[in-house]
Amino acid sequence: MKKALEDFPTNFSHLTERYSLFTLLLFGEAVIAVASTFAFNKISIGSVLFFLLVVVMFLFYNAVYKSGIDRKKSTAGLVLIHSHYFVFVGLGLSIVLYENYVNGEIQPLFFILCLAASLVCFLGGSIVNMVVYSKREHNYLPFNSKSVLYFVAWIVASLLLQDFMVPFLFVNIVFLLFLLYKVKQELR
């Protein structure tokens, strides 16, 4: 099978575009999920922070897609295909979790543990694409090692703030913005 894939590589630019469009569709579903947290004539700070989280997750994915992937590579794109399964699951699960958390329908500890798993999927799948299909040769090991430490620090902070929704959501936004900043630095 590997020989067949090498003899007839896919149009990688088209493949990345299709997967990014499906991911964009999932982000659209996330906006619909945010809308369900708004009550009629009442906007809560939790709902606004939830919307900001969706925006930051989109910016993270978009930064990796636009700057981190060489769409002109001659490849079958198998890593892209399989890593996007994790991106889809992570994005979908995190949106459902955030929606239920803002609506007060989920226990904080369960939420944090499931959210950690969903962010590992979403961020991990995105970073795998960045590393495998990078536009330039680069050693991503220090970046990946530091990212794991940042993630552990986020889990500790989340566990400490689990009973306070607004500070917890704010810490999530700051964590994702910080990771986005680090990814953009790495892609320079």
pLDDT digits (tens, 9 = 90+) for 133-188: 887 787 888 888 888 999 999 889 888 888 888 888 888 899 999 999 988 888 87
Contacts of 20 by beta carbon, 8 Å cutoff, 6+ apart: 61, 65
Contacts of 52 by beta carbon, 8 Å cutoff, 6+ apart: 173
- Sketch the domain layout of the chain as residue ranges: 2-186
What is the DSSP secondary structure assignment for residue 67, as one 8-state letter? I
* Residues of the chain where predicted confidence (pLDDT) is lower than 50: none
Residue 39 φ/ψ, nearest 5 degrees:
-90, 155
- For the chain, helix (H) and strand (E) counts, in that order, are 7, 0
Please report the pLDDT score of residue 87 as a whole number: 95
Write the CA distances from 2 to 75, 76, 151, integer angstroms: 11, 9, 35
Please report the pLDDT score of residue 164 as a whole number: 85
Please report the pLDDT score of residue 11 as a whole number: 86
Please report the pLDDT score of residue 2 as a whole number: 60
Contact 66, 186 (CB under 8 A): no
